[in-house]
Structure 1
Amino acid sequence: MGAGSADTPPVVSLISGGIAGGVEALVTYPFEFVKTRVQLHSESRSKPPRNPFKIISQVYYKEGLRALYKGCGALAVGSVGKDAVRFLSFDTVKNVFKDPATGMLSPGRNMLSGMTAGIFASVFAVTPTERIKTALIDDARYAKRYQSTLHCIKTILREDGMMGLYRGFAGTTMKQASATSFRMGSYNILKDFQEVNNIKQNAVVNFVNGSAAGIITTLCTQPFDCIKTRSQSAKATTTIEAIASIVKDDGIRGFWRGTIMRLGRTIFSGGVLFTTAEAIAKIMNPIFKPLSTGEAKM
């Protein structure tokens, strides 16, 4: 499963995924910030540096530490909801698809479980929070219309209604479905392989597996991330318009803009996410398993 053993109760999946998502978002947000800025950058005369640490230092010295966490609140809240839904739905679907004899899934079914989880996460958590986060980061570059996260939400709702929070839904869902498929699927494929070969699971192994899943996910899904970012900017566009603007600015290579920045985050974030989720699940499973199986003493 996403965290813990194959028969982890749904409440454990929900809570461990939510906590892990919040921790991962807070720890790695500066990399998300610079990745988003690079993807929004469209001035061909002054290309941004490729080194994420250089951009982080530039923003820090010019705009201060608070600037690096602009939009972090929206992403952190969204990450709690996203990963709670993602882990819960992944584990639920996985339990339906698993082999009754071994409790494991084929690689294809692991990937399909992740894709399903990504769609649920996009609908119920990711699209609105990503829209707010991206609009805040984009707005901070020039217009500076939004006074706070709450003011940004009120402005979007006033100008575009509820649909304004779902700008870029198609691109976000494509990204979430593919990213969750690769991230959750590849992590669990590695974990199943290790269990078959009697490789003991611990924090180090969990972190390495999560980092490997992060690399695979980034390289395979970067175009969807670029489309999502462009369509959710302060000057929001449709998914088709976002694709056209990327091609116009940079050609096909533009779909992989921000890859290095995103890798800087996902290698670390993948390790943090799964290590945290596994640790929380280990603590909570002994509490909730008896309740879910009816073994608790009355």
Structure 2
Amino acid sequence: MLNSGNSTNPMLLHNKLHNNNETTRWLASAATTGGSKGSRRHPGKAILAGGIAGGIEIMITFPTEYVKTQLQLDEKSATPKFKGVTDCIKQTYRGHGFFGFYRGLSSLLYGSIPKASVRFAMFEYLKNQLSDEKGNLSQGGTLLSGLGAGMTEAVLVVCPMETIKVKFIHDQTQPSPRYRGFFHGVRLILREEGFFGVYKGLLPTILKQGTNQMIRFFVFTNLKKWKQGGENTKNIGSFYTFIFGGLAGAASVFGNTPIDVVKTRMQGLESHKYKSSWDCVVQIFKKEGVMAFYKGTIPRLGRVCADVAIVFTIYEKVMQALDYVWKT
């Protein structure tokens, strides 16, 4: 007869091994993201990892953002300045050289770090709140977490940052540019338009960022689950993280470029022509047609696919390092 107090009791050994295996699986899951079992993460880690990823990404992809914005500001109703993407690139290089593609970078760089920090921190927070006791997140929960992350970053960071960026890029196309630098430009905008001058186009920005992150996190999470094949703690590696991030970015571009065009027009130097975001939609449709809502799609596609792929990849690597040195 076995002694129930003996440490060699088979039942106790079974329970001990089971608990150890559960602990091992939980620790391994800390290196995964989005909807996996036990994949809850501390928002504080997301702030650091997101900020680092956002800063590196914008330094790489800004030229495509510059070209996209130029094309979206080029109205068909007036005399078009650019014949297309290639012509915009040629004119920019001919007139300002290689670094001409980085005009307005400072406005986006100063904002990209906090933007990515807020985005990932809010996503992780909402994901933790909406997941069940085992850390499982439903499809609806993934959509809501992405939507909430996008809307939060839109209000706190993206709208003022994007408004300043668009004004900077638009200003550089004028015969006599007024802004001598980032801080001079910001002071001028605030003095002439007040604090809410950097919150023009807030509604389309919220719609854009909300749908952006909703689509991106949803697509990325589901592609990752598919690759893991039911092994929720499996590390898919940087290659697949990059590819899935790019596909998630592409999905968001085709899903909300019309919103991006309206947002850009509302934040440009000639935004006074529009009474509201809806009036901007109506005027673009009447004067330029449906296809005007897809201006800048090609450069935006290149920029966003690279953006999301790079950010997700760097975020994963930084988060894994933080999981190793910062136990939460």
- Provide TM-score, normalisation by structure 1: 0.90
Deviation, structure 1 residue 239? 1.8
User: Which residue does the alignment assign to 2:271?
Assistant: 236
RMSD across aligned positions (CA): 2.0
Matches of 1:120 and 1:210, distance apart in 2 = 21
Q: What is the identity, as a one-letter code, of the residue corresponding to 1:109?
A: G
Deviation, structure 1 residue 23? 1.1
Q: How does 1:1-298 map to 2 (within 5 A)?
A: 1=33, 6-44=39-77, 45-46=79-80, 48-51=82-85, 55-101=88-134, 103-142=135-174, 143-198=176-231, 200-237=235-272, 238-289=276-327, 292=328
Q: Secondary structure at the match of 1:89?
A: helix
User: Which residue does the alignment assign to 1:295?
Assistant: none
Runs of 4+ in 1 over 6 A off after TM superposition: none
Matches of 1:84 and 1:72, distance apart in 2 = 18
Matches of 1:61 and 1:8, distance apart in 2 = 48
Matches of 1:115 and 1:34, distance apart in 2 = 27
Deviates more, 1:204-213 or 1:266-275: 266-275
Q: What is the identity, as a one-letter code, of the residue corresponding to 2:184?
A: H
Matches of 2:264 and 2:95, distance apart in 1 = 24
Deviation, structure 1 residue 273? 0.8
Structure 1: segments with no counterpart, 5+ residues: 293-298
Deviation, structure 1 residue 200? 4.2
Matches of 1:217 and 1:108, distance apart in 2 = 17
Q: What is the identity, as a one-letter code, of the residue corresponding to 2:171?
A: D
Deviation, structure 1 residue 109? 1.6
Deviation, structure 1 residue 97? 1.2
**May I ask how many residue pairs the two structures share in their alignment?**
288
Q: What is the identity, as a one-letter code, of the residue corresponding to 1:115?
A: L
Give me the identity figure in percent: 33
Q: What is the identity, as a one-letter code, of the residue corresponding to 2:149?
A: A
Q: What is the identity, as a one-letter code, of the residue corresponding to 1:170?
A: L
Deviation, structure 1 residue 271? 1.1
Q: What is the identity, as a one-letter code, of the residue corresponding to 2:281?
A: I
Return closer, same or farther for 1:57/1:12 CA change in 2, 3 Å cut-off: farther
Tell me if structure 2 keeps the 8 A contact 1:2–1:13.
Answer: no
Q: What is the identity, as a one-letter code, of the residue corresponding to 2:257?
A: Q
Deviation, structure 1 residue 47? 6.7
Tell me if structure 1 keeps the 8 A contact 2:71–2:88.
Answer: no
Structure exhibiting the larger radius of gyration computed from Cα positions: 2
Deviation, structure 1 residue 112? 1.1
Deviation, structure 1 residue 42? 0.7
